[in-house]
Amino acid sequence: MEDTIGSNPPSLGFLEKLKSWLSWSWTYVCFVWFGMVLIMVYVVWSPLKLQETLTSASVFLNTLTPKFYVALTGTSSLISGLILIFEWWYFRKYGTSFIEQVSVSHLRPLLGGVESSSSTGLFSSVNGEADSRPSVSDCKVWRNPLNLFRGAEYNRYTWVTGKEPLTYYDMNLSAQDHQTFFTGDTQQLRPEDAVMQKAWRERNPQARIRAAYQAIEMNHECAAAYVLLAEEEATTITEAERLFRKALSFAGKDINLLVYIKRRLAMCARKLGRIKEAVKMMRDLMKEFPLLGMLNIHENLLEALLELQAYADVQAVLAKYDDISLPKSATICYTSALLKARAVSDKFSPEAASRRGLSTAEMNAVEAIHRAVEFNPHVPKYLLEMKSLILPPEHILKRGDSEAVAYAFFHLQHWKRAEGALNLLHCTWEGTFRIIPYPLEKGHLFYPYPGCTETADRELLPSFHEVSVYPKKELPFFILFTAGLCSFTAMLAMLTHQFPELMGVFAKAFFSTLFAPLGFFADKMENFMPSSFWHQLTRI
C-alpha cells in the first residue's frame, strides 16, 4: 500500500509534463509539422505515382456534369443547415454551443488546457461589502418568501392552461425543505412522523395527500399532515386557512411548525384582504422569533405595508434591513428605489430634466434605480411589461431571473400605484449598464454579476418561459460559421444550376489557383535538391 501511494506522485508528474509538452508542441511547432508533411508528400510523389493520380483525378472531374456539382453543393447546404438548426436549438435550450462544448470538454484536456472550475471565481456574494473570497454558497437557491399555495393557486393554473408552473427540481427542493423543517428529532420519530417523512418525498401529489390522511388516522393531532393538506389539497385560500388553523392547534412547542404555520396564516389573511391583520401577525412573528431573519419574513411585511400604502412604515423596515452588513434582495433594493422614485416621479419630465438638470431628490431616485438594476437587471423588463409574467417558483436565485419573476409578480401593482414611477424607471434603468460595462469582471456597488444564474434559473423556471440572460450572450462562432457555410453552399448550388458552364470555368480556375502554390513549391524543391538525392530517398 505504501509503495502504491508513493508511486502516484511521480506518475502524476510525468503525465503533467507530457501534457505540458503536448501543449507547447501544439502551440509552437505546428508549422514545423506542416512543413514535414509537405516534404513527405514530395518524397513519396514518385513511388506512389501521385502525379498520375492527380492527372486521372483531374480528368475524372472534367468529365463530371453540372448536375453532380448541383447535387454536391445542395447536399452540403442541407447538412450544414441541419447542423445549424441543431446548434441553434442547443444554444437556446442550454445557452452554449454543442460543438464548442464538446471541443472544450474533450480536446482541451488533451492539449494541456486547464478546465474551468464552476465552483470558484464565477460566483459572487450579494452583500453590500467587499469579500476577497467569493464562494458557491453566495449563489445558492433560496426559498421564495412569497411562494404561492399549490392546491389553491398553482394547481388552478394547471387546470386552466394545462401547463405545469413548477419544475421537478423546484418541487424536489421544497420536499427537502419540508422534510428537514418538519422532521424534528429523527431519533424519536413517531409512526405518523415516519409516514410524513415518506409523504414529503412522494413525487405524485395524490400519493402525498393519501399519506397525510394515513398519518391523521394514526394520530389525529399530526400537525404536519394538516400542513400538507392545506398546501396541496385545499382548492381555496379559505379552506387552506382553516386547515392551517387546525394545524396550529396541534403544533405544540415545535418552533419550526409554529413559525411556518403562522407565516402561512398571515399570507392567507393578506390574500383574503385582511391586510392589517396580516401585518400584525407578521410583526408579532418577527418579534417572537427575532433570530429567524434568514426566513425573510420582512419581505412579506414590506409587500403588505406597500398594499396599505404605509410608506413611512416601509421606510422604517428598510432602515433596519437595507444595511451594508446584511444580504440584499430584489425586494429590498427595488422597494428602496420605489420610495425615492415616488417622491419625484409625479412631476418628473425627461425633457425638463435634460434642460435644467436633475435635482438632488431626482438624482437620489436615479441612483437608487441604478443600484437596484445592478443588483438584479432582469426586473425592469417585467415591471415595464416588456416580458410576460408567469407564476413565481417556490425557490429563487438572488440576482437571477427567478427572483425577478417573483418580485414583479407581487410588486408590479405597487409600482403602478405610484404615479410616474414606471416612467422614471423606463427613462433611467438602462443607464446602469454604462456604469458597469463589464459586469462579470467588476461591479459598481455590488460584487460582479454571478455566472451561475442562467443555469440555475433554467432549472427553477418552467420550460415554456424564456429565461432572461444577463449579460446577453453573443451567438457562438460555430452557429455563425454553419450559417455562413449553409448560405454559401446554397448559393453555389443555385448558381451552378442556373449557369452550369460559367460555374464550371470558375471551378477549374479556382482549383488551379488553389494548387498553384503546391506546384510552385515542388518545382523549387526539384531545382534546389539534386535529383540523385531524391532518388536515394525514394529507394529508402
Do 301 and 350 fall into the same domain? Answer: no
Amino acid at 145: P
Q: Is residue 74 part of a domain?
A: no
Helix ranges (DSSP H) in 272-329: 275-288, 297-308, 311-321
Residues 6 or more apart from 83 whose CB is under 8 A from it? 482
Prior bond of 471 cis (ω within 30°): yes
Q: Is residue 98 part of a domain?
A: no
Task: Give the CATH number for residue 204.
Answer: 1.25.40.10
Instruction: Quote the pLDDT of residue 352.
Output: 80
Q: Is residue 39 part of a domain?
A: no
Q: How many residues does the chain have?
A: 540
Q: Is residue 94 part of a domain?
A: no
Quote the DSSP letter at residue 293: G
β-strand partners of 397: 141
Do 301 and 340 fall into the same domain? Answer: no
Do 338 and 226 fall into the same domain? Answer: no
Q: What does the DSSP assignment read for 145-177?
A: TT---IIIIIHHHHHHH----S-HHHHHHHHHH
Q: Is residue 271 part of a domain?
A: yes
In the chain, how many domains are there? 2
Q: Is residue 425 part of a domain?
A: yes
Q: Is residue 348 part of a domain?
A: yes
Q: What does the DSSP assignment read for 201-235?
A: H-SSHHHHHHHHHHHHHH-TT-HHHHHHHHHHT--
Distance, in Å, from the CA atom of 67 to the CA atom of 496, rounded to the nearest integer, reads 8
Distance, in Å, from the CA atom of 196 to the CA atom of 173, rounded to the nearest integer, reads 16
Encode 249-280: b = buried (16+ Cβ within 10 Å), e = exposed: ebbeebeebbbbbbbbbbbbbbbeeebebbbe
Q: Which of 287, 309, 331 is the last residue of a domain?
A: 309
- State the burial class of residue 345 (Cβ atoms within 10 Å of its Cβ: 0-12, 13-18, 19+): buried
Using DSSP bridges, classify how beta strands 141-143 and 395-397 pair: parallel, antiparallel or unpaired. Answer: antiparallel
Boundaries of domain holding 478 = 320-485
Query: What φ, ψ does residue 163 adopt, rounded to 5°?
Result: -105, 145
Do 206 and 256 fall into the same domain? Answer: yes
Instruction: Quote the pLDDT of residue 144.
Output: 92
Torsion of CA 209, 215, 221, 225, to 10 degrees: -30
Instruction: Quote the pLDDT of residue 19.
Output: 63
Do 429 and 454 fall into the same domain? Answer: yes
**Contact call for residues 445 and 333 (beta carbons, < 8 A):** no
Amino acid at 390: I
Do 215 and 344 fall into the same domain? Answer: no
Do 324 and 287 fall into the same domain? Answer: no
Do 200 and 335 fall into the same domain? Answer: no
pLDDT per residue, tens digit, the chain (540 aa), is 444 444 444 444 666 666 666 665 555 565 666 666 666 665 555 554 555 565 665 665 566 666 776 777 778 777 877 877 877 777 766 666 777 766 666 555 554 444 443 333 323 333 333 333 333 334 688 999 999 999 999 999 999 999 999 999 999 999 888 888 876 555 567 888 888 888 888 888 899 999 999 999 999 888 999 999 999 999 999 999 999 999 998 888 888 889 999 999 999 999 999 999 999 999 999 998 887 777 889 999 999 999 999 999 999 999 988 877 778 899 999 999 999 999 888 888 878 877 888 888 889 999 999 999 999 999 999 999 999 999 999 999 998 999 999 999 999 999 999 998 999 999 888 888 888 877 777 778 888 888 778 888 889 999 899 888 887 765 666 667 777 777 777 777 777 777 777 777 777 777 677 767 766 766 666 666 655 555 555 555
Do 292 and 190 fall into the same domain? Answer: yes
Do 298 and 332 fall into the same domain? Answer: no
Q: How far apart are the first and last CA of the chain?
A: 51
Instruction: Quote the pLDDT of residue 374.
Output: 92
Instruction: Quote the pLDDT of residue 6.
Output: 42
- State the burial class of residue 463 (Cβ atoms within 10 Å of its Cβ: 0-12, 13-18, 19+): exposed
Q: Is residue 160 part of a domain?
A: yes
Q: Which of 465, 485, 505 is the last residue of a domain?
A: 485
Do 280 and 172 fall into the same domain? Answer: yes
Q: What does the DSSP assignment read for 333-355?
A: HHHHHHHHHHTTGGG--HHHHHH
Encode 285-321: b = buried (16+ Cβ within 10 Å), e = exposed: bbeebeeeeebbbbbbbbbbbbbeebbebbeebbeeb
Q: Which of 274, 309, 344 is the last residue of a domain?
A: 309
Do 335 and 283 fall into the same domain? Answer: no
